[in-house]
Amino acid sequence: MPLFMPNRYRGKLIVVEGIDGSGKSTQISLLSHWLRSSGYAVAFSEWNSSPLVRQATRRGKKKEMFTPTTFSLIHATDFADRMESYILPLVKSGAIVCADRYAYTAFARDVARGVGRRWVRNLYRFAIHPNIAFYFRVPLDVALGRILGGRDALKYYEAGMDLGLARDVEESFRIFQGRILDEYEAMAKEVGFHIIDASLPIEEQQRQMREIVTRELGADAENGVLRVPPEGAAGA
């Protein structure tokens, strides 16, 4: 059974994955700027950002109502809305859609919460297959150092506090992120991630990404993908 629906459209889908603090958001942001400045039509989609589902998610988090199953389902609902009303029409139209987290986040996070591996993979079967999925591999301590150093207090579900792993929020976060990391590593081969060493300098990671994008999208990107005509060639 294939994991996702094949992308038969003109546009492309590029996604980034990795645990919190792996630096993936920085990298996808740099990549999308680069693609845009090269003239491509670029769109961006973030995990957990559907306006239709937001109210329910917010309510569930605030009142700590989620079980592993409902947590998984509400995020799949959010994802479905973004897929149906945003990502899919844009990919059809020829845009390059960059997604900060994709179904793999659910595969890692929901399974770390105790949800069945096969069940959660089936849940996302309606998603279109990314053209490129980058995975930012980072040692747990490096990621934790980046997160725990500079940010606001950790949130309840983010730290996996619903699982009762530890009383202390930071300790719970540590254990939970470790489990998520294990899930990512276990699926890396299965799903064909392009692995980026996230402990390298930012510039080097970005250079590798651009190289992979150029290689993978190559001739395709010259054909179907929507692009601003080069200066002077406009006219139609």
Partner 1 sequence: MPKRQPLQFYSETLPGVDLSELQGKLIVIEGPDAVGRTTQVALLRQWLEREGHAVLDTGMARSALAGKGIKMAKEGNTLGPITMTLFYTTDFADRLENEIMPALRAGFVVLIDRYIYSIMARAIARNEDRRWIEQVAGFALVPHATYYLRAEVETLVSRVVLGRGAFDFWESGMDLRFGPDKYDSFVRYQARLIRALDSMVKPYEFAVIDADQPVLKIFAELRRRISRLLPRDSRRRQPSSTAVKAVT
The SS3 call for residue 166 is coil
93 is a contact residue toward partner 1 (CB under 8 A): no
69 is a contact residue toward partner 1 (CB under 8 A): yes
Structure tokens at 182: 């294990």
60 is a contact residue toward partner 1 (CB under 8 A): yes
**Segment contacting partner 1 (CB under 8 A): 31-39, 60-68, 95-103, 132-140?**
60-68
111 is a contact residue toward partner 1 (CB under 8 A): no
- The runs of H, that is alpha helices, within the chain are 24-37, 54-62, 68-82, 88-93, 103-112, 117-123, 140-150, 169-191, 202-223
**Segment contacting partner 1 (CB under 8 A): 15-23, 75-83, 98-106, 171-179?**
75-83
**How far is the C-alpha of 224 from the C-alpha of 206, rounded, in Å?**
25
66 is a contact residue toward partner 1 (CB under 8 A): yes
Question: Mutual orientation of helices 140-150 and 169-191 as an angle, nearest 10°?
Answer: 130
Among 25, 26, 49, 77, binds partner 1 (CB under 8 A): 77
Residue with tokens 């998984």: 72
The SS3 call for residue 77 is helix
65 is a contact residue toward partner 1 (CB under 8 A): yes
- Whether the CA torsion 207, 100, 1, 178 is positive or negative: it is positive
**How far is the C-alpha of 6 from the C-alpha of 85, rounded, in Å?**
18
Among 64, 85, 148, 224, binds partner 1 (CB under 8 A): 85
Q: What is the smallest separation between the CB atom of 63 and partner 1, expressed in angstroms?
A: 8
Among 30, 41, 73, 200, binds partner 1 (CB under 8 A): 73
Binding stretches for partner 1 (CB under 8 A)? 50, 52-53, 55-56, 59-60, 65-70, 73-74, 76-77, 80-81, 83-85, 114-116, 119, 122-123, 125-126
